[in-house]
Amino acid sequence: MNRTVLRLAIPSILANITVPLVGMADTAIAGRLGDATALGGIAIASMLFDLLYWNMGFLRVGTGGMVAQAYGREDFKDAMETFALGIFTALSFAILFIVLQWVYVEAAFHFIECSPGVEALAREYFFIRIWAAPATLSLNVFKGFFIGMQNAVSPMVVDIVVNVTNIVASIFFAFYAGMGFAGIAWGTLVAQYAGFLLAVSLMVFQYGKYFHLADIRGTLKSGNLKRFFILNADLFVRSVCFLCIYAGLTSLAARYGDIDLAVSSIMMKLMLLYSYFVDGFAYAGEALSGRYIGAKDKISLKRAVKVIFAWSCAIGAVSTLGYWAGGEWMVGFLADDAQVIAHSANFLPWLLVMPFVSSVAFTWDGVFIGATATKALRNSMLWAVAGFFLSYFLLRGHIGVQSLWAGYMMHLLVRTVYLSAVAKKEIFEA
């Protein structure tokens, strides 16, 4: 079971490592193009895309869980039809986002408070990168399908190509092509389409033999599209809840000024660096729980969950040591603004406790996704949102901007406690 888990987790970890590196590279490029305003511009621009794309998280999550269970049943027709419905949904939303881009940005900045300089840079970035929406949303479906088919290598290759291309292209456009801040957005756009073309090629090469099983017209007419959305409705609500927390943290941090906004952006990048390691085992949990539930193999399911948790908790402990030893250096790598670096020292202690607290929540997420126990995931995030905002509003008058991170910690605790409490009923006795 250890070998099975690592076969799925290690490729995902290798790919995930490159994901936060892209965010760090964007932050580092922005930090060397200007002052805290440029860092704030990247933070707000990233939040604008989070508002769009995190709500579409069900494209990967739902596809992965449903395909994993189909794989366990050896029902490849259902797996292919799930993939086709995912792509259809992804492209439909991508077109909608492109058509409504101006309306969306105007509405967003009606609620987001930031300096005029930060807003101008965020707008510039958004109106370039939005044209990558078809590729970005489709890649979520490809990744979910590959993971559901117990294939962690293909999404690893795609992610590495996307993220390395993103870093190289952003540096080239920003510094060598003379585009400055806009070059960061152009680098992301080019990388997304490079990844999309590679994913299509891998899909044809590895799973082309199953294409004839998918009757798209029949699937749409039979009501399977409605079923697809019903099964993913809870995951959509879950994504909205994630969005409320992460976007809320960024927008609330902006109220404290560009320095606090820049520090919050850096802290989130550093936090994500750890989470992408644990997510490798969460993806393994997603693939294996779906597979064993589909095959009705409860003994293997229990063994897999135990092994995955052992690895996740070990990574949480190692990550805490890493932040303790290298936290200050990591901040210095992402920013060269003396005020930002000095101010960040007040926030680094949060990084010493978050990995341990969050490792359980992140791992349960993967297991519940594979089991398609979507109502429990939805409920855990509804309570987590309440915990985040309640903690912030109760503490902001006492500890100021630090209350945002107290709220973030509370949301992790709520997820951990809730999912642990319902796991027996939702996963092992379902």
Global confidence as pTM: 0.79
CA within 13 Å, CB half, 95: 5
What integer pLDDT is reported at residue 292 of this predicted model?
92
Along the chain (430 residues), what's the average pLDDT of each consecutive run of 10 residues?
90 75 72 71 80 79 87 88 89 94 89 79 89 94 93 92 89 85 88 95 93 74 67 83 81 75 76 81 90 90 93 88 78 69 75 83 90 90 94 85 86 93 86
Report the candidate in 430, 388, 381 with the shortest Cα–Cα distance to residue 407. Answer: 388
| Rounded (10°) CA dihedral 194, 195, 198, 200 | -110
What integer pLDDT is reported at residue 21 of this predicted model?
65
Residue with tokens 């309440």: 386
What integer pLDDT is reported at residue 278 of this predicted model?
87
Radius of gyration of the chain (CA): 21
CA within 13 Å, CB half, 51: 22
What integer pLDDT is reported at residue 19 of this predicted model?
65
